[in-house]
Amino acid sequence: MDLQQMFRVLWRFRVIVAVGLLLGIMLAFLAMVRVNLTSAPHFSYRAQPRYESTTTVAVTFPGKKGNNSLNADDLDTLRNATTLFVPYAMGNAVMAELTKNGPIHGKLFAVQGTASDGSTLPIIEMAADAGTAAGALNLERRHLAAFQKFLHDLQLANGTPANQVVILSPVSGPLPAKLVQGRKLTKPILIFTAILVLTCGLAFVLENMRPRIRPVEDKAEDRHVEQRAKRLSA
């Protein structure tokens, strides 16, 4: 089937094609946008972009600038303390402290840093994900402050000796948030394409179901052949 014939078929069933296009556009729109007529905003994206702000903090002793000047025993102590404190970063107590300054609109992460050989380090990698760059940065700052306050209060409540108290000293960050994932358009595009293909397919099916009308020239030629056959038989 050439392009001209294809366009003739689509034009012949243009009403069906138009309805299919409108339906595809509407369904693709609804797959991308959430409609809420009862409250504002009435339209909002279903999938939000993801921005991430990160912080690297060293678990160290007060008055120490980094851990490079510490001996092996002190480093082991700090590694063990880091392993002990990392789960608290995502614990209920830190989350409760965090919510004192506002709701948590996003996701939080905290893991212990590792060296290239796989050994653990007295480092905690923290991150906050949110729908806006400002929201991710603000959430990361609040998370770090809440974790630092919790760690201070915990050691104070446990009566930790002054020479064993550790602090969270930021090495870098909280850094300005970066876009890690934009809005995905895959689903709306697939829906629109599927509706368009089905609509065109329906048009061609209806075209094939139409009765074929033979041209007048073909009928005249058939009559001429029949008359000639009669003369020959006579």
pLDDT in tens, 148-162: 999 988 888 888 887
**pLDDT surpasses 90 at 65:** no
CA dihedral 184, 185, 190, 193 (to 10 degrees): -170
Pair (75, 105) in one structural domain: yes
Q: What confidence score (pLDDT) does residue 160 get?
A: 81
Pair (60, 9) in one structural domain: no
**pLDDT surpasses 80 at 201:** yes
Q: What percent of the chain has pLDDT over 70?
A: 85
Pair (10, 103) in one structural domain: no
Q: What confidence score (pLDDT) does residue 233 get?
A: 62
Number of domains in the chain: 2
CATH number at 125 reads: 3.30.70.1130
Q: Which residues form the domain of 31?
A: 3-46+184-212
Q: What confidence score (pLDDT) does residue 115 get?
A: 84
H helical segments located in the chain: 3-12, 14-32, 72-89, 92-99, 133-157, 186-209, 216-233
Pair (54, 144) in one structural domain: yes
- pLDDT averaged over every residue in the chain: 82
- Do 187 and 32 form a contact (C-beta atoms < 8 A)? yes
**pLDDT surpasses 80 at 63:** no
* Radius of gyration in angstroms for the set of CA atoms belonging to the chain, rounded to a whole number: 36
Q: What confidence score (pLDDT) does residue 140 get?
A: 92
**Residue 146 covered by a domain:** yes
**pLDDT surpasses 90 at 46:** no
Pair (72, 25) in one structural domain: no
**Residue 224 covered by a domain:** no
Pair (174, 197) in one structural domain: no
DSSP run (H or E) holding 113:
strand 107-114
**Residue 222 covered by a domain:** no
Pair (8, 84) in one structural domain: no
Determine the average pLDDT of the residues in 197-203. Answer: 90
**Residue 63 covered by a domain:** yes
Pair (33, 57) in one structural domain: no
**Residue 220 covered by a domain:** no
Pair (107, 30) in one structural domain: no
Pair (188, 175) in one structural domain: no
Q: How far apart are CA 97 and CA 145, in angstroms?
A: 9
* Among candidate residues 132, 147, 126, the one with its CA nearest the CA of residue 177: 132
